[in-house]
Amino acid sequence: MKIIEPSVELVEDFDAAAIMKKIERAGRVCYKSEGNIKDDSAEKFIRGIIKRGHESVIEHATVSFKIVCDRGVTHELVRHRIASYSQESTRYCDYSAGKFGGDLTFIKPCFWQDDDENFLLWKETMAQLEKNYLTLRANGAKPEEARSILPNSLKTEIFVTMNLREWRHFLKLRTAKAAHPQMREVALKIYQILVEKLPAVFDDLKP
């Protein structure tokens, strides 16, 4: 059994300046103000349209992340419908052999310390589920059958693409204090990357 922390990876780096110029060019079509485009005009323009709520303009740019988290988090994540998802399949991935090495990997809950009684109970439960999964596979159960006992804590990988407007919507909801702690943990990692790369689009959000 392996226990790991969740992680977030920007799938491909991007030219932030080029994205900003693209958004400005698209937005200025609305006002026929293309003649006002200058080398340093994109940031002010984008901040202005976001402040006015004209966020459809930022839909012209998308960003993709590969997220490693537990399956409970992905159940919430995929509720954001203006997005594309490709997720590790428990139906086709055999966690009893091959590249998985006969180990199941679980995501450590962020709300319990290692010496917490609840964490120790969780860890014991995951170990038993791993043992039972491997027994089911040894008894001839297919991966798609054995997966029926796998928990929300199972590690999964998901490739996510959203346009910038939807990332803003996602971050507003999922970095809020009312969000599930594990969902918020992942969302904050995404926010830290996006606000660093595209501050004009994301730094008005205050998690």
Q: Residue 89, SS3?
A: coil
What does the pLDDT read at residue 103?
A: 83
In DSSP terms, 68 is beta-bridged to: 7, 157
Over residues 39-96, the pLDDT tens digits come to: 999 999 999 999 999 999 999 999 999 999 999 999 999 999 899 999 999 999 999 9
What does the pLDDT read at residue 98?
A: 66
Over residues 81-118, the pLDDT tens digits come to: 899 999 999 999 999 976 666 789 999 999 999 999 99
Q: Which residue has the tokens 């199972």?
A: 154
Phi first, then psi: give them for residue 159, nearest 5 degrees: -95, 120
Phi first, then psi: give them for residue 197, nearest 5 degrees: -80, -40
- Count Cα atoms within 13 angstroms, Cβ side, for 98: 5
What does the pLDDT read at residue 107?
A: 98
Q: Which fold has domain 1-12+62-194?
A: Gyrase A; domain 2 (3.30.1360)
Known catalytic residues are 174
Dig out the tokens for 166 from the structure: 């939807």
The CA–CA distances, whole Å, from 173 to 48, 101, 123, 150, 157 equal 22, 37, 30, 28, 21
What does the pLDDT read at residue 101?
A: 65
CA 105 vs. chain centroid, Å, equals 18
Over residues 147-175, the pLDDT tens digits come to: 999 999 999 999 999 999 999 999 999 99
Q: Max Cα separation, the chain?
A: 71
Q: Which residue has the tokens 């709520």?
A: 53
Contacts of 57 (CB under 8 A, 6+ apart): 23, 26, 27, 30, 46, 49
| Nearest of 183, 157, 67, 160 to residue 105 by alpha carbon | 157
Tell me what the mean pLDDT of segment 130-134 comes to. Answer: 95
What does the pLDDT read at residue 97?
A: 78
Beta carbons of 24 and 207 less than 8 angstroms apart: no
What does the pLDDT read at residue 100?
A: 64
